[in-house]
Structure 1
Amino acid sequence: MKLVFLVFVSIAVATKLPPNFKKCNRTEPDLEKCVLEAARDGLKQLTRTYKKIRLPNLEPLDVVELSARVETRLIHFSETLRNCKFWGLSRSVLEKFDEIFRFNLDEKVIKSQFIVPEVRTKCSYQIDGTIMSVPIRGKGNSSIIFKHFNVTLYVPYDEITKRNKTYGHVTSCEIDGKPESIHFQLDNLFNGDEEAGKRVNQLLNDNWSELYDDIKDDYLKMGKQMLIQLLNGFFSKLSLEEAFVFGKNIYLRLIIMIPQASNFQKCNRKQADLKQCVIKAAQDAIYQLTHPYNEVNIPNLNPFELKGATVGGGGAVAVEQRFTDCKLQGFNKMKLDKFEFDFDKKVLDVVGTFPEIVKKCTYEVDGQVLLLPVTGKGPSEIILTKVDVTSKLYFEEIKKRNKTFIKIVRSDIDMNPGHVSYKFDNLFNGDKVLGDNINQVLNDNWKEVFEDVKSGYIEIIKTIVTSLLNNFFSKVSIEEAFD
């Protein structure tokens, strides 16, 4: 969350800034390299307070109090954290300038992405409620460790003029991210009942991913409040003219220098570790797709909106399922195992797993499932978990204006979920008993049901993937996608 400050600091020349921060001049030929080095250098130095520009010490970052009340599918509790210390923020990994920072003057927005290898927090906590139907209650010391936290920020700001100077002011921001693992330790649960406390801590750690998904919005909301407070403290002391070389000219230089989709990593087709670079770039890009990138024809994937789809069955499922106004969630959380371009054979090989795909649509069905009649129209929710996907996407190369563009012309895709759950509301015109019975039959026999409709779902995935890639590569040439 501190990356924004670092880039401000790294390209500043104002006397108000501490002299030990490296500074860059916009006219130097290697400005991009200088800014990245300055950001890295500045990040390491934020282990003390800079009161003149209201930058706090990050090692540790002290937070007086945080509170949350969480009411979700798995969690019902209220929690207060006091006297918190956060370690690890100053060790955020900044790999490449155009991956970690975008400053757009016209849109008045700051976008950034970075990875924190480890965040450790220690707080006094108080909690009361249930987690996964298990009571949790206690008051004492807590320790939470987040590993490899990949964070994206989207921060719009306003400009305020005071005494002939321009200051930034932030009123809202968007934060997204998920760690690779979380470890919880809450001491003194249930008034010191050691055995009960041990069981609840084990429950938290065994189910950390599901719990994080449920508490993420509330915890990120607390993060937003912290970030807005820190940013406005910084902006209130340092005008934009003082923060940037030659006033706003540096903004224009940055906007010209950084492409609109510049936070997507690029690879060189001649580099020895091309495969590793491509899969890392693809993985990072997928995680970022929580808002649209109109300039490269990529929509928001969380959720991905689908106007309509039809899924037919054969055998056990003798019914045509018509879906409209669909929202699909989970595409941006795909974990890639393979993402390889073969430019000689003109094929893109993709293998990976979706932890969970949630499809919410308005449905209409009329037919039979496992010889039982089924009819209805209304809201539906289908959840596929641990979906393994393998695909080969065959493409052709098209030359336009001395550039080479890719077009997907054929795809072979297979998908196998670890589990599928179905919920169709308003079956049989709202007959609850019949509707509950059919939903139970679907869920008890999910494997047989899915096998019969699998080809229809694969066709939907093919359509989505082909459309996304062709939209992207219609705007971005091979020469632009690869160095």
Structure 2
Amino acid sequence: MRRTHVFLFALVGVISCTKLPANFKKCNRKDPKWKDCVKEAIDDALPQLTKSFDELNLPNFEPLWIPQVIIGGGGSVAVTQNYKNCKIFGLTKMKLDKAGFDFDNKTLEFAGTVPEYILKGEYTLDGKVLLLPVKGEGDTTATMKNVEFNCLMQYEEVKKKGKTHKVVNENWKLLFEDIEDTFLDAMTKILINILNHFFTASFKKCNRKDPKWKECFKEAAADALPQLSKSFDEVNLPSLEPLWIPQLTIVGGGSVAVTQNYKNCKIFGLSKMKLDKAEVDFDKKIFEFSGIVPEFILEGEYMLDGKVLLLPVQGVGNSTATMKNLSLGGSMKYEEVKKKGKTHMKFVSTKGLVKPSSIVFHFDNLFNGDKVLGDEINRVVNENWKLLYEDSEEAFAGATLKIITNVCNNVFAKISIEEAFD
């Protein structure tokens, strides 16, 4: 934190001036104990800066108000950070180890620790971090513990009305300019906190040229899944907990001679999937994955009209299907699509496996709310779940894999191969 505490320079100047408030200790540089006096005077003055001293051009430092800071990004942080109405807390509580002038060399040197440095403000972000789009606005806070500082500052002497002035902060604007560098350092931590809003922890990034690419990618996918309990709109990635599906149709056959229409569906459990495999073959243009979802729950509003095990089934209402230890795997073929000089994946076909170890169904309001008939159908369906699933497995698997394909296409329409894997 190179220059956050440059206001000490101003304080040293203040304690040497002739028109001090009565409660500020004044030091004479001709005094043999000048150095000790300066440090004591600053220690005494710091707690008093919870209010401003306009006659000395000293603002209130608890908090210190910063109107606006704009930080242009670079490197892995290619994002413009715009902060306004910022407040810094904690400067008046710093513990000084050293503070003193060298009038011959025209320097001020000081060192010490701020026990708790807090920076609050309103942010706006627009750009990319680690090649992932980041955009948002809101309030943010950075709290730093035991911030150590050590600074050597060079000054020039300027003549005004026959007197010598050290070039320090004589107004708010200059004060801000002098603390700006370290303020930007603090903003880096604020940016990290903001990004935690977008990337709950962080998505691990893998380079496909790395010899350990396959291991890295599987670890990255496994690390990312639990974070998908929230959405990342910036990369077109919805929340998987639950994953909302506006409409789902499963066409039956065999013993399930009924078309199942669902709307406003919610799928729970995908973020808890235990991955066994996750690979991308860039030569064959295939993404393959497999794993187990311990508990896969599908909730939605259903409409049924047909027959199950030759029994008439008709109803409209809410339904739940709870599947245990769902084996889920897929082989997804993609094409490469060029956009603005970059290569994007477009998944065009998917085949795979979706097989549970058990299923429990529940349909409300069957037969217009006839409880006897409704309970009987729910009982029969659950006792024969395996047979019923086998007859509708292909349709259900196709619908499930299509949902996953759509999610992947949404993401890679936004993120290029180069951004994701280089």
User: Which interval holds the TM-score relative to the shorter structure?
Assistant: 0.5 to 0.7
Q: In structure 2, do the counterparts of structure 1 residues 399 and 54 end up closer, same or farther at CA, with 3 Å as the change threshold?
A: closer
Q: In structure 2, do the counterparts of structure 1 residues 335 and 377 end up closer, same or farther at CA, with 3 Å as the change threshold?
A: same
Q: In structure 2, do the counterparts of structure 1 residues 244 and 380 end up closer, same or farther at CA, with 3 Å as the change threshold?
A: farther
Task: Give distance in 1, aligned partners of 2:267 and 2:387.
Answer: 23
Partner of 2:257: 318
Structure 2, unaligned runs of 5 or more: 6-70, 78-112, 126-136, 149-175
- Give 1:140-159 correspondences, 5 Å limit: 158=139
What do residues 364-407 of structure 1 show as CA deviations (whole Å, max 9, x unaligned)? 11111111111111010111110111210001112222211111
Residues 290 and 330 of structure 2 are in contact (CA less than 8 Å); yes or no, is this contact kept in structure 1? yes
Aligned-residue offset at 1:409: 0.9
Residues 226 and 272 of structure 2 are in contact (CA less than 8 Å); yes or no, is this contact kept in structure 1? yes
Q: Does 1:392 align with 2:322?
A: no
- Give 1:23-102 correspondences, 5 Å limit: 52-53=115-116
Partner of 1:469: 408
Aligned-residue offset at 1:280: 0.8
Q: In structure 2, do the counterparts of structure 1 residues 399 and 30 end up closer, same or farther at CA, with 3 Å as the change threshold?
A: closer
**AA at the equivalent of 2:291:** G
**AA at the equivalent of 1:246:** T
Say how many residue pairs are matched.
278
Aligned-residue offset at 1:104: 8.9
Task: Give distance in 2, aligned partners of 1:356 and 1:380.
Answer: 16
Aligned-residue offset at 1:54: 10
- Secondary structure class of the residue paired with 2:124: coil
Q: Does 1:247 align with 2:178?
A: no
Partner of 1:189: none
- Give 1:194-343 correspondences, 5 Å limit: 246-248=182-184, 250-251=186-187, 255=191, 263-343=202-282
Task: Give distance in 2, aligned partners of 1:258 and 1:271.
Answer: 26
Partner of 1:354: 293
Task: Give distance in 1, aligned partners of 2:3 and 2:302.
Answer: 60
- Secondary structure class of the residue paired with 2:391: helix
Q: In structure 2, do the counterparts of structure 1 residues 30 and 360 end up closer, same or farther at CA, with 3 Å as the change threshold?
A: closer
Task: Give distance in 1, aligned partners of 2:184 and 2:396.
Answer: 51
Q: Does 1:368 align with 2:304?
A: no
Partner of 1:439: 378
TM normalised by structure 2 equals: 0.58
Partner of 1:99: none
Task: Give distance in 1, aligned partners of 2:268 and 2:287.
Answer: 24
What percentage of aligned pairs have identical amino acids? 38
Q: In structure 2, do the counterparts of structure 1 residues 387 and 244 end up closer, same or farther at CA, with 3 Å as the change threshold?
A: farther
Partner of 1:106: 124
Residues 330 and 353 of structure 2 are in contact (CA less than 8 Å); yes or no, is this contact kept in structure 1? yes
Task: Give distance in 2, aligned partners of 1:403 and 1:335.
Answer: 32
- Secondary structure class of the residue paired with 1:289: helix
Residues 346 and 409 of structure 2 are in contact (CA less than 8 Å); yes or no, is this contact kept in structure 1? yes
Aligned-residue offset at 1:263: 2.5
Q: In structure 2, do the counterparts of structure 1 residues 437 and 403 end up closer, same or farther at CA, with 3 Å as the change threshold?
A: same
Aligned-residue offset at 1:450: 0.9
Structure 1 consecutive aligned stretches of length 4 or more whose deviation exceeds 3 Å:
11-15, 29-32, 50-55, 156-159, 252-262
Partner of 2:40: none
Task: Give distance in 1, aligned partners of 2:114 and 2:186.
Answer: 25
**AA at the equivalent of 2:116:** I
**AA at the equivalent of 2:337:** I
- Secondary structure class of the residue paired with 1:272: coil
Among 386, 389, 408, the alignment partner of 2:347 is 408
Task: Give distance in 1, aligned partners of 2:215 and 2:231.
Answer: 26
- Secondary structure class of the residue paired with 2:394: helix
Aligned-residue offset at 1:315: 1.1
Task: Give distance in 1, aligned partners of 2:251 and 2:356.
Answer: 18
Aligned-residue offset at 1:105: 2.9
Structure 1, unaligned runs of 5 or more: 1-10, 16-25, 33-49, 56-102, 108-155, 160-167, 170-230
RMSD: 4.0
Residues 123 and 139 of structure 2 are in contact (CA less than 8 Å); yes or no, is this contact kept in structure 1? no
- Secondary structure class of the residue paired with 1:275: helix
What do residues 214-246 of structure 1 show as CA deviations (whole Å, max 9, x unaligned)? xxxxxxxxxxxxxxxxx7xx79x99xx9x9953
Larger radius of gyration: 2
Residues 105 and 252 of structure 1 are in contact (CA less than 8 Å); yes or no, is this contact kept in structure 2? no
Task: Give distance in 2, aligned partners of 1:258 and 1:361.
Answer: 33
Aligned-residue offset at 1:360: 0.8
- Secondary structure class of the residue paired with 1:373: strand
Q: In structure 2, do the counterparts of structure 1 residues 298 and 158 end up closer, same or farther at CA, with 3 Å as the change threshold?
A: closer
Q: In structure 2, do the counterparts of structure 1 residues 430 and 405 end up closer, same or farther at CA, with 3 Å as the change threshold?
A: same
Aligned-residue offset at 1:301: 1.1
Task: Give distance in 1, aligned partners of 2:266 and 2:400.
Answer: 14
Task: Give distance in 2, aligned partners of 1:319 and 1:31.
Answer: 53
- Secondary structure class of the residue paired with 1:354: strand
Task: Give distance in 1, aligned partners of 2:229 and 2:333.
Answer: 27
Residues 329 and 352 of structure 2 are in contact (CA less than 8 Å); yes or no, is this contact kept in structure 1? yes
Aligned-residue offset at 1:462: 2.1
What do residues 66-89 of structure 1 show as CA deviations (whole Å, max 9, x unaligned)? xxxxxxxxxxxxxxxxxxxxxxxx
- Secondary structure class of the residue paired with 2:365: coil
What do residues 100-147 of structure 1 show as CA deviations (whole Å, max 9, x unaligned)? xxx99327xxxxxxxxxxxxxxxxxxxxxxxxxxxxxxxxxxxxxxxx
Partner of 1:421: 360
Task: Give distance in 1, aligned partners of 2:189 and 2:181.
Answer: 11
Q: In structure 2, do the counterparts of structure 1 residues 245 and 442 end up closer, same or farther at CA, with 3 Å as the change threshold?
A: farther
Residues 105 and 251 of structure 1 are in contact (CA less than 8 Å); yes or no, is this contact kept in structure 2? no
Aligned-residue offset at 1:348: 0.8
**AA at the equivalent of 1:321:** Q
Residues 358 and 383 of structure 1 are in contact (CA less than 8 Å); yes or no, is this contact kept in structure 2? yes
Task: Give distance in 1, aligned partners of 2:370 and 2:415.
Answer: 52
Q: Does 1:381 align with 2:399?
A: no
